[in-house]
Amino acid sequence: MTRIDDPIRPTNDDVHPANATAVHVTDATGTVPSPTVVPLPPQRWNVFAVVGFVCAFLLPPVGFACSIVAFVQTKDGRACGRALAAAGIVVAVLMALVWFAVIGYLVWFAAMFVPYGAFLRAQ
């Protein structure tokens, strides 16, 4: 909370520093300019993160690979999508497990019931 007689208090120019070229702070001696405030450019989504997340549902190995690449690329923070890449990795692993379970079930079904069906047809 600033009081009127505080030696350092913000002026009305400090309302939206992202829109200003410089922020001014008033102190006991007058106005002292602070470093220039430069608005950051809008961050773009990492393409590998988006592709990896989508492919994680359809083609888990491709989604896993793209998500790993995106996770490494977004480490420096210049692009958005690190959480999306992490989600793509998790979804790709889970979908791969589901695929293995379904394929294993189909192989088991074929191994158990196809010979039995041939035995019934032979009689």
Helix or strand holding residue 25 (H, E): strand 22-27
Q: How confident is the model at residue 25 (pLDDT cuts 50, 70, 90)?
A: low
18 has a pLDDT exceeding 70: no
Length of the chain (residues)? 123
* Span 56-115, pLDDT tens digits: 999 999 999 999 999 999 998 888 999 999 999 999 999 999 999 999 999 888 888 777
Q: Please, which residues have CB within 8 angstroms of residue 92's CB and are 6 or more apart in sequence?
A: 52, 55, 56, 60, 61, 63, 64, 67
3 has a pLDDT exceeding 60: no
pTM above 0.85, yes or no: no
The residue among 113, 55, 112, 117 whose CA lies nearest residue 87 is 55
Most confident of 7-16, 67-76, 114-123: 67-76
Q: Averaged over 36-54, what is the pLDDT?
A: 83
Instruction: Return the domain boundaries, the chain.
Output: 1-39, 47-122
Most confident of 20-24, 38-42, 65-69, 107-111: 65-69
